[in-house]
Structure 1
Amino acid sequence: MNTNRPMLLALLATLCAGKAFSQDDDLLAGLEEAPKKEYVYNAFKSSRVIMTHSMELLRPGVLDFRILHRFGKLNQGAKNFYGLDEAWIRLGLDYGVTNNLTVGIGRSKYKQELDGFAKWRVIHQAKGPKALPFSLVLVGGGTLSTAPWADPTRKNYFTSRMAYYAQAIIGRKFSDKLTLQVAPTILHRNLTELKSDPHDLYAVAIGGRIGLSRRISLTADYVYVANQPRKELHHPFSIGFDIETGGHVFQLHFTNAFGMNERTMLSETPNSWGKGDVQFGFNISRAFQIGHKKKK
């Protein structure tokens, strides 16, 4: 009898089993989950940088109640308690219809203006397969003054109360610490303050965010109006801090922008940083999930 036969059979069985396990490993390796495209969110803490729209949209079913509050000019001194005796306000409601569509309405104290907008994300920045390096957001809106006519004796037209604007926001979140965006903008006014003023204003808004900590960011936006018609009007510039506390985003800022919607901001900014015509203000954003969360 050959005593080596059992040993040979055991060796063959071991080799076959090892090959089978190796084949199973190869099959499992082929079943590993492929990388997925990941969309980039939280480029800004809010749907606004400070004065201007940001590339960020609300999630579906989210209602954002916004309070924009602005005091008077700091250089008015103690007689006006450094601007704190004066106050201007805008109240607004923004709603996330879909993941890529946000709409909003608001009312400002100045000229008792109503405003509304629609914000649509065409391109969403993403990582992974078929990565998209930036976001493109289109915004269209309008304003309506409800204040009494300055001269009620003349023939006034309802359309003279209205203005419209459109802009394209191109932005990129470079990291959790840095976001930058640029937004070409056009504003049309049916009625201008002076006959010599152009009905259409062309502007470029630049905005950015620098993360200082998990809940605090430095934000700024600047709007260059290319065909500003009068020397006494200036380009709006705002700088401040975003503080996130749960469902709230609290913005503290300084600005020379008197108005709190696109019409007044672009066409009625008489304040100058160089002359100290700076206003302190704050914006409060409170988000409520009132609709069902939708899949992305």
Structure 2
Amino acid sequence: MKMILAIAMAMISSCAFAQDDLLKELDQVQDSVITYSAATFKGTRIINGHSVETVGKNNMDFIISHRFGAVNSGANNFFGLDESQIRLALEYGLTDRLMVGIGRSSYQKTIDVFAKYRLLRQSSGYRNMPVSVTLFASDANNSSTSTTELPFYTIAQRQTYTFQALIARKFNEKLSLQLTPTVMHRNLAENQIDANNLYALGMGGRYKLTKRTSFNVEYWYTPKTFAGTTQRDPRFTNTLSLGFDIETGGHVFQLHLTNSRGMIEKQFIGQTTGKWSSGDIFYGFNVSRTFSFDKSKKSKTSGY
């Protein structure tokens, strides 16, 4: 009997230790799990500016952007709807972190190429990262042949380079905010008073209204002087934009009002002349359609 009791006690003790070890292993597994934040924004744009999102690997976005005339142009111009500028763009995900793109704007006949790289992604759990960070670089080439409006003479003079760090945090399922410190270099400024280097700060946010809709706001602040140097002509203003996003499967529709007529960094950061107080408000929209070249996966924006 004593032997049987000893064996039973040993078995119970062994089971207890095994259970403790199993619980410790489960705790370690749970501690090692990383939960990434998804869908900080619905697409690769907040309104005008880029968001931290990138196109998924082997997926391509085709983006059509329209910007109509100013609302204060009057009824004869159908309050701006008789005029329009357009930008067509293709964006492709080389990996889930790296994407490249090319676009062509009818405004100033500008061709732009760019690359985005997801450096950090907001996460919790085993690795806690409070923000997502994406790096952005672009080159815009003004191909206009108008020597009176845009007096460029060489290809080099037509180039404008933009470098940005996109820093965003998704606070909860509804609210996401982003800061975008920006440095822009113009090989030849279009006005003598403009500096070749332009420093700006973009601020944007998204508030989710329903599962597939959200309200967006975006503001680009460019100080008139930086480090004692005049950055831009006083007639240029900061850009304020309000937008409404609608997601429908592979499409993202973005409707917005803005005081900028341009649709790329070179234009809406450094060349905005419209003022909301004067009615210089342009209605516009972006339509994004995603195509997948990877049959094993659904079309997606990385982070959705």
The yes-or-no answer on 1:34 pairing with 2:55 is: no
Q: Which residue of 1 aligns with 2:19?
A: 25
The yes-or-no answer on 1:142 pairing with 2:139 is: yes
Q: Which residue of 1 aligns with 2:219?
A: 222
Q: Which residue of 1 aligns with 2:261?
A: 258
Tell me how far 1:13 sits from its aligned partner: 6.7
The residue identity in structure 1 corresponding to 2:53 is: E
Q: Which residue of 1 aligns with 2:245?
A: 242
One of 67, 71, 82 as aligned partner of 1:70: 67
Distance in 1 between residues matched to 2:286 and 2:280, nearest whole Å: 19
Tell me how far 1:280 sits from its aligned partner: 0.9
Give TM-score, length-normalised by structure 2: 0.87
Within a 5 Å distance, the mapping from 1:124-143 to structure 2 comes to 124-143=121-140
The yes-or-no answer on 1:205 pairing with 2:208 is: no
Query: CA 1:234–1:151 in 2, change beyond 3 Å: closer, same or farther?
Result: closer
One of 281, 284, 287 as aligned partner of 2:284: 281
Within a 5 Å distance, the mapping from 1:160-179 to structure 2 comes to 160-179=157-176
**Matched residue SS, 2:30:** coil
Tell me how far 1:58 sits from its aligned partner: 1.7
Tell me how far 1:87 sits from its aligned partner: 0.9
Distance in 2 between residues matched to 1:73 and 1:84, nearest whole Å: 8
Equivalent pairs: percent with the same residue? 40
**Matched residue SS, 1:98:** coil
Distance in 2 between residues matched to 1:293 and 1:31, nearest whole Å: 33
Is the 8 Å Cα contact of residues 152 and 158 (structure 2) preserved in structure 1? no
Distance in 1 between residues matched to 2:152 and 2:4, nearest whole Å: 107
Name the Cα RMSD after superposition: 2.4
Unaligned runs of 5+ residues in structure 1 are none
Deviations 1:46-100 (A, max 9, x none): 1111001111122211111111111111112211111111111101111111122
Q: Which residue of 1 aligns with 2:177?
A: 180
Tell me how far 1:196 sits from its aligned partner: 2.4
Q: Which residue of 1 aligns with 2:96?
A: 99
Q: Which residue of 2 aligns with 1:60?
A: 57
Is the 8 Å Cα contact of residues 41 and 56 (structure 1) preserved in structure 2? no
Distance in 2 between residues matched to 1:281 and 1:149, nearest whole Å: 25
The residue identity in structure 1 corresponding to 2:103 is: G
Tell me how far 1:17 sits from its aligned partner: 5.0
Distance in 2 between residues matched to 1:19 and 1:185, nearest whole Å: 64
**Matched residue SS, 2:74:** helix
Tell me how far 1:178 sits from its aligned partner: 0.8
Relative to structure 2, which stretch is displaced further, 124-133 or 22-31?
22-31
The yes-or-no answer on 1:231 pairing with 2:234 is: yes
Distance in 2 between residues matched to 1:168 and 1:29, nearest whole Å: 42
Query: CA 1:164–1:25 in 2, change beyond 3 Å: closer, same or farther?
Result: same
Tell me how far 1:179 sits from its aligned partner: 0.8
Deviations 1:87-133 (A, max 9, x none): 11101111111122111110001121100111112222111112111
Greater C-alpha Rg: 1
Distance in 1 between residues matched to 2:221 and 2:296, nearest whole Å: 38
Within a 5 Å distance, the mapping from 1:45-56 to structure 2 comes to 45-56=42-53
**Matched residue SS, 1:203:** strand
The residue identity in structure 1 corresponding to 2:30 is: A
Aligned pair count reads 289
